[in-house]
Chain A
Amino acid sequence: DADVTQTPRNRITKTGKRIMLECSQTKGHDRMYWYRQDPGLGLRLIYYSFDVKDINKGEISDGYSVSRQAQAKFSLSLESAIPNQTALYFCATSDKPQAGAYNEQFFGPGTRLTVL
């Protein structure tokens, strides 16, 4: 089974609808991230969470909100979807680094969201 799962994998919705994307992980990591990927713009950080009570805005948080329901679950919501939120969304996790160490991120398979 995949360590980082995302649901749904594909979603088509209409402008103004509320959408929730869900991410679950079995890696036991404290840190979780939401990114969006657009052609020519690369991966951009939306929100990140270093533990259940620590949630932070990333580079492009406007129009999005998140909820960290448990260590293993991190959800991304679009309160009122608009067409320019059409993108590929990725969840990622990482372990808390030891002093002086740096850790890689583990990505889910992505959710392709289309807002009409």
Chain B
Amino acid sequence: SQKIEQNSEALNIQEGKTATLTCNYTNYSPAYLQWYRQDPGRGPVFLLLIRENEKEKRKERLKVTFDTTLKQSLFHITASQPADSATYLCALASGGGATNKLIFGTGTLLAVQP
């Protein structure tokens, strides 16, 4: 069956360090992958999208990689700040691009300590 895995354990890092979050999937061939941020009691907010033919995407302090051979995406936050503390969700396209349906992982909680 199709499965998306994110580390369920919280990731604790020191301010200024690089946070790296992992998203692994099985039995998928997604056309693209998205990352969202979710703060407690709020809806997810879109951060980045990466296509299957892209290896890496950057936006300010954020970087996403997509390895379709390993079936894995890595999400990096450089020079992390306490304000980056949140749950980060990865989401994979289900079906072709025109359907725009997403399958979400369970998320990883990031805690950045000052």
Contact = CB atoms under 8 A, between A and B. Distances in A.
Interface of A: 4, 31, 35, 40-45, 48, 58, 90, 92, 94, 96-97, 100-110
B42 A109 contact: yes
Contacts, number: 58
Nearest to B4: A42
Interface stretch (B11-19, B55-63, B99-107): B99-107
A31 B100 contact: yes
A104 B44 CA distance: 11
A107 B45 contact: yes
B34 A104 contact: yes
Counting chain A CB atoms within 10 Å of each CB, the highest count among B34, B41, B43, B105 belongs to: B43
Interface string B25-49: 0000001101000000111111001
Interface of B: 4, 8, 31-32, 34, 41-46, 49, 51, 89, 91, 93, 97-98, 100-107
A90 B4 CA distance: 20
Nearest to B47: A104
B106 A40 contact: yes
B42 A110 contact: yes
B49 A102 contact: yes
A102 B31 contact: yes
B101 A92 contact: no
A102 B97 contact: yes
Given A97-B97, A102-B97, A103-B100, 18 more contacts: A40-B106, A41-B106, A42-B89, A42-B106, A42-B107, A43-B44, A45-B101, A94-B100, A101-B97, A102-B31, A102-B32, A102-B93, A104-B34, A104-B46, A105-B46, A107-B45, A110-B41, A110-B42
